[in-house]
Amino acid sequence: MIHKMGIEQADGNLTNFLLGPDDEFAMIDEDDIRVYSGAIPVNVATQNLANVAARLAHHEMIEELLGAYLEKRHDKAGAEWNTEEFWASVYSWKQMFKKKRVQKNISPDREFD
């Protein structure tokens, strides 16, 4: 688990993740990566997962991502996880990305980012 290893991918754009033919998963583009000495703090993890989740178009997709994430998070920090805070962060990232697209004069409403 990337967060447990202390890695934060601050640029959660979906083009920074690759899926191979046998469901191998890879994270690329280290430009914005931050590395912590231990597992990343739960608030950073919440914001970071929300940053990735905010690129997904459908509520169900975000729920699936969150479910899969929490399933792997069988640690002490998991108990501190605040799902409300996660969703608030998803919506705030979504708004921020939309604003950026408006500034760049590109279609503000797109399915995936």
Q: How far is the CB of 12 from ligand ADP (least distance, A)?
A: 12
**What's the CA gap between 36 and 39, in Å, rounded?**
7
Site for ligand ADP in 2-21 (CB under 6 A): 15-16, 18
Binding mask 26-55 for ligand ADP (x = CB under 6 A): --xx-x------------------------
The least distance separating ligand ADP from the CB of residue 33, rounded to whole angstroms, comes to: 11
- 32 is in the binding site of which of ligand ADP, Mg ion, none (Cβ under 5 to 8 A by kind)? none
- Rounded to 5 degrees, φ, ψ at 27 are -110, 130
Token look-up 């962060």 returns 89
Closest CA to 12 of 82, 99, 96: 96
